[in-house]
Homo-oligomer: A and B are copies of this chain.
Amino acid sequence: MAVGPASKERPTAMADSGTTGTARDAPKRDAGRDRPPTIRDVAELAGVATSTVSRALARPDRVNPRTRIRIEEAAAELNYVPSSQARGLSSGRTNAVAVLVPDITNPFYFDIIRGTQHQLKAAGVTQLLVDTEESSEMELDALHKMRKSADGFILAASRLTDAQLAEVSRTQPLVTFNRASTSAPTVMIDTPSAIIQALEHLASLGHHKVCYVAGPPTSWSNQMRWKVFEDDATRRGMEVHRIGPYTPKTTSGAAAADAAVRTGATACIVFNDLLAIGMLQRLQARGIRVPADISIIGSDDIFGADFCNPPLTTISSPIEQAGRVAVSMLLAQLNPLSGSASRQLAVMPTHLTIRDSTGPAPH
């Protein structure tokens, strides 16, 4: 019970009434400095009604400056913090936003989370973090269960279908990240451009046989990457291979590396850095040199991409900023300002960070 109030027990015998002070007549619930002060305590201390306190705190110009001062002092003295629960109940807003990620384990999402956390904190909104474990069911479930406890949602790399997404966004404010959607605002990273940059880079190094190492089939960005990869590589007259899908974890890297080598490709563009780093490890273990024998390009530029061995050439994007942008878009949606409609799409720029895992094609 540690937390719950001790039910009924109006303080008959008050512990340290001593000091008295302002609220003279019968300070019933106050007195014993035990349970956190409520708006009523503040009201009593300031000698006003609770409604006035509420207003003084929410819309300061709705009350007389003098009263407001008194109330503010009272609140400060009592160290009053309004209960977000109660506030939410009556106002209908929770002042919380849920961030759904497919896998907290993945460093990529940590960047996102960092971004959302920052921006949300700045806005005074609580972040509810949820790991959906790459499952659309869990995602839907969370969306449903939390509809009353969050004002809005940020879906990172959502696994929902277009229909599901549309359905959900009809009833709950949300913004998707790295998952195109016509029904909800979206922030995504400029995948096509990134893949083209990467292929350009490989082409200039003389590679002709390239391989795409695929991630989760339900991932929209995976599909996008492959599509652009195939188009552009074909256009360049390259020999195109594709392997996968693989779970985007370093541990899947071994299988991916072996498969990649078997295709005979001299360069791989990999779904993400986790997988790419895993491949690097495996290749090194097998004595296959990177980039002398095979070039590897990752994606996301996660923590570690700069100090792995060899440092990974990868597609970088301001992920943390993407998180911040997502929050801004969501908040804009929640508090429609007088101005125009809020932005429906934000595309984060990408660039290829060239490190040491890419080099001239062998021969």
Contact = CB atoms under 8 A, between A and B. Distances in A.
Interface of A: 1-5, 36, 79, 81, 83-86, 88-89, 91-94, 104-105, 107, 110, 113-114, 117-118, 121, 126-129, 131, 144-145, 147-149, 151-152, 172-173, 250, 277, 280-281, 303-304, 307-310, 333-336
Interface hub of A2, A84, A250, A303 (most chain B Cβ within 10 A) = A2
Nearest to A274: B303
B107 A107 contact: yes
Contact of A117 (B4, B104, B149, B152): B104
A193 B282 CA distance: 33
28 contacts: A1-B335, A1-B336, A2-B152, A2-B173, A2-B334, A2-B335, A3-B92, A3-B93, A4-B93, A79-B144, A84-B149, A85-B85, A85-B89, A85-B94, A85-B148, A85-B149, A104-B113, A107-B303, A113-B129, A118-B131, A121-B131, A126-B128, A127-B129, A128-B128, A277-B307, A304-B304, A307-B308, A309-B309
B117 A110 contact: no
Given A3-B173, A81-B144, A107 B110 contact: yes
A97 to B, nearest CB: 11
A94 to B, nearest CB: 7
B3 A152 contact: yes
A272 to B, nearest CB: 14
A128 B127 contact: yes
Contacts of A131: 117-118, 121
Interface hub of A110, A114, A172 (most chain B Cβ within 10 A) = A110
A258 B45 CA distance: 60
A82 to B, nearest CB: 8
Contacts of A104: 110, 113-114, 117
B110 A145 contact: no
Nearest to A121: B131
Nearest to A113: B104
Given A2-B333, A280-B307, A307-B280, A117 B129 contact: yes
A145 B82 CA distance: 9
A320 B172 CA distance: 33
Contacts of A336: 1-2
B148 A36 contact: yes
A149 B145 CA distance: 18
Nearest to A133: B121
Give the top 6 A-B pairs by smallest Cβ distance, nearest first.
A309-B309, A4-B92, A304-B304, A2-B173, A83-B148, A85-B88
Contact of A86 (B89, B127, B147): B89
A81 B5 CA distance: 24
A126 B98 CA distance: 11
A113 B83 CA distance: 26
Contact of A3 (B3, B151, B304): B151
A281 B304 CA distance: 12
A148 to B, nearest CB: 4
A89 B89 contact: yes
Contacts of A309: 307-310
